[in-house]
Amino acid sequence: MKQYKVVQTFPVPLQDLLKAREDRYKYLDQFPELKNVELLEERKEGNKVFQKRKVKLADSLPKVLATLLSDPSLLENSVFDLSTNTHEFTIAPPGNDSIVTIKGFSIYKELNPGESERSYDVQVISGVFLMGSVIETVIEEIHRHSLEKDKNSISEFLKRGQNSGA
């Protein structure tokens, strides 16, 4: 099992960050880096937002993993708690969670009135005999990169929102 932490700061109030986090998926056509993400299901129950997304990985999947997966994608099941600004998620290949599973918890918080952050605690687990640690290392690298791309898309959305009122 691989464990890691990622902390990202944003030069905006927490409410702006939370709004951008939610709204950018409504404008996927403006964010080519999110084109491989498809929202399959979303529902709200009280303060919790439940989402299921499919992330297509055909272009970025290492060969060692591509050969193990019939569907080169990952399914993300997540719950965002609007009262605590926390996000729990599980990401795994459809029907193949023994190959690799990413489990994470993130929290969004205000550092000061004009700055906020989100921090992730993540575990990557693979049950593939002899190759598990290699797969975990590769997936950690891919996931860290995707979190950085996600941060960039949120930052870009925030810039556009400030400039165009979007």
DSSP conformational letter for 27: G
d(CA 133, CA 73): 20
For residue 129, the model assigns a pLDDT of 87
Higher model confidence: residue 38 or residue 163? 38
Task: Give the number of other CB atoms < 10 A from CB of residue 65.
Answer: 22
Distances from the Cα of 44 to the Cα of 18, 24, 79, 104, angstroms: 16, 18, 9, 20
Between 73 and 57, where is the model more confident?
73
Average pLDDT, the chain: 86
Question: Treating both helix axes as pointing N-terminal to C-terminal, what angle do 132-164 and 14-23 enclose, rounded to 10 degrees?
Answer: 110
CATH fold label, 2-163: Alpha-D-Glucose-1,6-Bisphosphate; Chain A, domain 4 (3.30.530)
Best-predicted range by mean pLDDT among 59-68, 75-84, 95-104? Answer: 75-84
Say if residue 144's pLDDT is above 60. Answer: yes
- Residue-wise pLDDT for 28-58, tens only, equals 666 666 667 788 999 999 999 999 998 876 6
pTM: 0.85
Domain ranges of the chain: 2-163
- Our measurement of the distance from residue 140's CA atom to the centroid of its chain's CA atoms, rounded to an integer in Å, reads 12
CA–CA distance, 127 with 165 (Å, rounded to integer): 47
Query: What mean pLDDT comes out for the span 90-114?
Result: 92
For residue range 147-156, what is the model confidence (pLDDT) as tens digits? Answer: 998 898 899 8
Q: Which pLDDT does position 165 carry in this prediction? A: 44
For residue 29, count CB atoms less than 10 angstroms from its CB and return exposed for 0-12, middle for 13-18, buried for 19 or more.
exposed
What's the whole-number mean pLDDT along residues 107-114?
Answer: 96
